[in-house]
Structure 1
Amino acid sequence: MAKTARVAFYSLVFASLSAPVGAKDKDKDLATAPPAIFQGVLDCRSVADAAARLACFDKSVAVMADATAKKDLVVIDRATIRETKRGLFGISLPSIKIFGGNDDVEVNQIESTLTSARSSSDGLTVFLLADGSRWKQTEGRYTYPKPGQKIVVKRGALGGFLANVNDQPAVRVMRLAD
């Protein structure tokens, strides 16, 4: 009976390890394929007759405008992606392809101004940045930041973050929930 349980356990582990691989491939296809509504507009380019092509464009653009008005289709540009990723910097999120899998807009550091800094109950500093994000020092030397000073938060090794306040040596920090 123990052997049967082991076989069932290993089968379950193997199945769970195999599933994410297929899911990643599916996510990759979804991230690169344009939405059907947008593809409808692109397909109109191949219509040979000028009047039919114009009618196709009119129809598909009307469908696109309707979907946009209903928030079924959202159009964003690279600047919006960059600003959104900057605002999410330091927050652990599940792996979702909300930005179309476009990794060329990677945010590795943010630069801001301190709005305030206070000492937490454990004596380490909590920084409030001008963008509203809160960061807490996790280790390192004591810092004595003042509002208005420049702060740079960089992605560190192994998923950590480092902050330099007013060009002082870096301290390890973590992003706090807003």
Structure 2
Amino acid sequence: MLRALLAVAAGVALAAGPALADPAGGEAALAGLAACAAQPEPVQKSACYDQAYATLREAVRTGDVVIVEKREAQAAQRGAFGLSVPAFNLFDRANGGKALESVAGEVAQARRDEHGRWIVTLAEGAVWRQIDDEPMRAPRPGSAVEIRRAAFGSFMMKVDGQRGVRARRDD
């Protein structure tokens, strides 16, 4: 799952890079649309929009502009929760400009590591590892899990409403 997320991040970063760096890329395509709104004559405005649309369509075709639906951005943001992947900050716009503060899910499997701490795999594939020594009842497949941001970049994981334990994303 991590490889897939990193591949998406790299693809978005590479695709967005030319759009941000090349004035003939994505910025020019969007600037062309904005300039059309200033055209006073309807015929000129229509011709301008036709040209701007063609430029934007070409930028999408070549990968200079990548169009991501809000639900796709939210899914990517949710999938990256807990990972240190700066490229995913661009998906924060899908959440009103705010970073995701928590995720809820379901336990797919859980096991103890060599120190007796829990390693919990969520149904969507994310793996979370307990990093403190707080006691916790055994998570079972189907158990409800909530993971939220805590102080200083850490995370708290609650399973079936139990007291939270400190955790980190492990995949």
**What band does the TM-score fall into relative to the shorter chain?**
0.7 to 0.9
Whether the aligned pair in 2 keeps the contact of 1:125 and 1:143 (CA below 8 Å) is no
Equivalent AA in structure 2 for residue 157 of structure 1: A
| Alignment TM-score, normalising by the size of structure 1 | 0.73
Q: Distance in 2 between matches of 1:174 and 1:100?
A: 21
Offset of residue 63 of structure 1: 1.1
Closer, same or farther: CA 64–56 of 1 in aligned 2, 3 Å = same
Which residue of the other structure, out of 129, 132, 156, is the alignment partner of 2:125? 132
1:171 aligned to 136, 159, 165, which one? 165
Query: 57-66 or 94-103, which moves further after superposition?
Result: 94-103
Query: Which runs of 5 or more structure 2 residues have no equivalent in the other structure?
Result: 1-19, 21-25
Percent identity (aligned):
26
User: Does the C-alpha gap of structure 1 residues 100 and 126 become closer, same or farther in structure 2, counting only changes over 3 Å?
Assistant: closer
* Distance apart, 1:95 and its partner CA: 6.9
User: Partner of 2:152 in structure 1?
Assistant: 158
Amino acid at match of 1:50: P
Aligned length: 145
Q: Distance in 2 between matches of 1:134 and 1:94?
A: 19
Bigger mean CA offset, 163-172 vs 95-104: 95-104
CA distance in 1 between counterparts of 2:92 and 2:131 reads 33
Distance in 2, Cα, partners of 1:92 & 1:52: 48
- The 1:72/1:50 distance shift into structure 2, 3 A limit, reads same
Structure 1 residue 101, shift from structure 2 partner: 6.7
Unpaired runs of at least 5, structure 1: 1-29
| Alignment partner of 1:93 out of 85, 89, 93 | 85
TM-fit CA distance, 1:82: 2.7
- Determine helix, strand or coil for the equivalent of 2:121: strand
Deviations 1:122-163 (A, max 9, x none): 221111011211000111214301001100001111111011
Does the CA-based 8 Å contact 2:136-2:162 persist in structure 1? no
Asked if structure 1 preserves the Cα contact closer than 8 Å seen for 2:92 and 2:98, the reply is no
CA distance in structure 1 between the partners assigned to 2:67 and 2:145 by the alignment: 32
For 2:44 and 2:170, locate their aligned partners in 1 and report how far apart those are by CA, in whole Å.
56
Structure 1 residue 116: Cα displacement: 0.5
Q: How many Å separate the matches in 1 of 2:99 and 2:92?
A: 13
Among 28, 43, 46, the alignment partner of 1:36 is: 28
- Report the equivalent of 2:63: 71
Give me the CA root mean square deviation: 2.2
* TM-score, normalised with respect to structure 2: 0.75
